[in-house]
Structures are given as C-alpha cells and as structure tokens.
Structure 1
Amino acid sequence: MRLGLQISCELEQVKTLRPKSDGSFNWCLKVKCGSCGTEDPTWHQVSESDADQYSDVQGDVNFHMKCKFCKRPGFIDVVKGSSKEYTEDDSGKFKTIVSFTCKGIEPFQFAFEGGWEVKCLDSNTTFEDVDLSDDWVEFDGKSQLPVGISETKSQFVREPENKK
C-alpha cells in the first residue's frame, strides 16, 4: 500500500516550506498494525537516509517493526524523490508532501517537529531547522516583515501504486 502524508498550514510571508532536502529529515510517525489494528503509542522516526535490511523484507527499508500484539512484521519505506515543498499557493489547503510504501504497518499520526526549511516571500531569506511543533514566528531582517507558520494539520491518504 502507498500512503501520502498531506499537510495544511497557514503561511504568512512564506514562499516555501519544505523538509530538509538532504534526505535526513525525520518523519515523526505513530503506526498501527495492518493485521490486527493495534496502535503503537510510541513515536517513531522514519528517515529516507536510514535504511536497513531485514530477513523478512526484500531489499533495504527505512523502518521495520513487529506488532507487539500479533507479532506480525511490517515496514514503512519513504518513496525516494517523493518529498515536495509546500508553497504560498498551498496555504490553508491540504497537499501531499511525501509518500510512503507500507506493508503490514501504516502510519496514522504525524507530529510536526524540527528540520524544516522556510524561504521568505519577498527576500528569499532562508530559515533552517525550523521547529513546527508549535506556531512559528520570526522576523525577516531583509524585508523588515514578520514571517510565520500556524494552524498545522496533517492527514494520510491512499495513493495509487505505480506499476513498473
């Protein structure tokens, strides 16, 4: 199964919002078992740059675990190259910013944390490692304007899988 993580937020004087572009961004997820539905209360960090090989999975995957209740294994893999920026035109709307391939487990909750890059609207000033766990407000010295991100929301949507 393939799931897209969609976010929505209000941008003020922000041109683009994107996860760290080097693949090391940590997607902070809560997951549930695809077999028995048990929700794991632990937050898990899933990063495209972290990949390990497991005996019950062909190839490398970014995150792997067994359900604590039914003991069935599952994995989540960040779809390479699927990360997208959220722009001023997207403000207030849901947009898919990353996709995951999931088998046996699936994410059901996303936590906004640090690691975001924000580019300002008028000056192209860039703020790095922005933490969005709460509303974010800064002052852009070049444009002499406040910039901010608020009302962050997320949801997961099923996506069609590409058959190659």
Structure 2
Amino acid sequence: MKCGNCGELTQKETCVSLNETVALPKGSTNLVQKCKFCGREGTVTMITGRGRPLTQAISELGKFSSLMLFDCRGYEPVEFSFGSGWKVESLEGTTFDGIDLSGDEFAEYDEKGECPVMISNLRYMFHLVK
C-alpha cells in the first residue's frame, strides 16, 4: 500500500478480508492502517457485488476480470498477492474450494467431467474508479 499523503510504501504485506471489519463512527471498513512515516490514517473497504468471476472465455480473450472493488481512502494499493481461499469451478461444474493461488498456479483433475482444470499466469492490475 502507498500512503496518499506522503507516498511512503508499507514495508509489510497488508491483508484485506471481507470477513474482517472495523467499526467506524459512521459505518465500518475492512482495514484501518496508519502510515509509519507521516502518521496519517487510511481505510480500505471492500465493496461487494461489484466484481465478477474470471471465466475461461474472458481468459482466452486475454482480458482482465474485475474481481473486487476497493474504496481506498488515504491509501492506494500498488501490489496484489493471490493467496488462499479461492473457489475454482470447472467447465463441467465441479467446485474446488479453499484453493491457494500464492504459488501463481493451480492444477487439478475433474473426475466427474473427465477434464483437467488449471489456472496459471496470474496477473493483476488496479483500475482507478471515481
């Protein structure tokens, strides 16, 4: 994360989760973080219902899929790490839960659909929405 006030980059990886919320005077957020350099506080709120899954069709076109919308106030994300907890569904409908994508790929075999299931060459980008 990058501080919107002084531009300082956080030294440690920052994790934002839908399952973790912090109460604010008006509402709640998923992350409150204070800049170690200038002392300014910032928040990151995950906005549900605005993302869409990455499908094989989108992937084959070489396009990105907007997985999540973040309301960032005081901080700007600069890197993303694919971690654990992902859900993968084969073309035949078999679901694989709790997938760890921190190694940048996933490979499994769908016994029911008799087909391989694979995710690789993971990339990310942040797009500013106002």
> Same-fold call, TM > 0.5?
yes
Structure 2: runs of 5 or more not aligned: none
Q: What amino acid does structure 1 have at the position aligned with 2:96? A: F
Structure holding more strand per residue: 1
Q: Distance in 2 between matches of 1:105 and 1:58?
A: 19
- What TM-score do you get using the length of structure 2 for normalisation? 0.90
Structure 1: runs of 5 or more not aligned: 1-30
- What TM-score do you get using the length of structure 1 for normalisation? 0.73
Which digits, 9 at most, give the CA deviation of each residue in 1:109-140, with x for residues without a partner? 1101111111111x211111111122111111
Which of the residues 41, 48, 53 maps onto 1:73? 41
Q: Give 4+ residue runs of structure 1 displaced > 3 Å after superposition.
A: none
Return the offset for 1:38: 0.4
Q: Distance in 2 between matches of 1:146 and 1:104?
A: 43
Which of the residues 86, 100, 106 maps onto 2:70? 100
Return the offset for 1:59: 2.2
Q: Distance in 1 between matches of 2:23 and 2:7?
A: 25
The number of residues matched between the two structures is 127
Return the offset for 1:145: 1.7
Equivalent pairs: percent with the same residue? 37
1:42 and 2:42 matched: no
1:125 and 2:94 matched: yes
